[in-house]
Amino acid sequence: MSANETNDASAEHNRRDFLYIATGMAGVVGVAGAVWPFIDQLRPDASTLAVAQIDVDLTEVQAGQSITAMWRGKPVFIRNRTEAEIEAARETPLADLPDQLARNENLPADASADDVSRSAGEGRENWLVMVGVCTHLGCVPLSQQGDFGAWFCPCHGSHYDTAGRIRRGPAPENLHIPAYEFISDTVIRIG
């Protein structure tokens, strides 16, 4: 083989490699262009994103009253507890609780279920914000009922205390507390 034939073979080999790579890249771009509409439709729409966070005005909620807000399709119980309700929750020994974890998304996962960890925190112990879904089978507990005068799920008999902690019945966990923050003295943002 002469030097010219070797150079021609090498040039042909390089052209062939380039064509393979270019064809492969064109195929990848074509497939991506065809698949993108299907991937794009999986993103949440504007109405879903709009309820990712809600602001709740608490100015009208007096001590001893509860309101229910809807967040992500679930009820959220917001209660302005009385001093007696706070005291009852504080007096409950943690050893008496079936679930001793706070279940509060605003705190570390291993935070204990003491009253302050279940409430809005120091200085705001009167506020209790919880997802209003029974942790047994997903029913919605009734407010200001049950053996502890707080929440009662009549479906299977779960009783929660004034801090939303399971005290009696089949529910395995305390009512969950969503991520929230006070954005003013009277408005909370959930989510």
Mind telling me the catalytic residues? 156
**Sheet containing 180-182: which strands, arranged edge to edge?**
54-57, 187-190, 180-182
The tokens for 70 are 């809807």
Q: How far apart are CA 191 and CA 138, in angstroms?
A: 20
Number of neighbours of residue 117 by Cβ within 10 angstroms: 18
**Amino acid letter, residue 62:** Q
CB 159 within 8 A of CB 86: no
Q: How far apart are CA 143 and CA 149, in angstroms?
A: 8
SS3 call for 159? strand
Query: CA dihedral defined by 75, 64, 150, 143, rounded to 10 degrees?
Result: -40
